[in-house]
Amino acid sequence: LPAAVLLKDTKLMDVKLGQLGSWLAMRDFTPGGILGAMRRGHERYYNKYINVRKGGLGGLSMVLAGYVILSYMWSYSHI
């Protein structure tokens, strides 16, 4: 049997729909908690796509695509 994992330590993709409310209630929505989550996300992205031994254009093209979509939304705010 796998060891029981606390709901707080469970990733969002592993949370059941009935547990979503209590999982969200356990998140840290203070400015420090949000900043920490953004920092962890950036580190995960950087280590997966940028800081690799044999790099490619995958990570940079995703950043460029995000910028294009964001600038399109800013230019056409009526949509």
pLDDT by residue (tens digit) across 22-78? 888 888 889 999 999 899 999 998 888 778 777 677 778 888 999 999 999 888 877
- pLDDT digit string, tens, across residues 19-28: 888 888 888 8
Token pair listed for 13:
């993709």
Q: Which residues, other chains included, contact 11 with Cβ-Cβ below 8 Å and sequence gap of 6+? A: none
The answer to whether 7 and 26 are in contact (CB under 8 A) is yes
| pTM for this model (two decimals) | 0.55
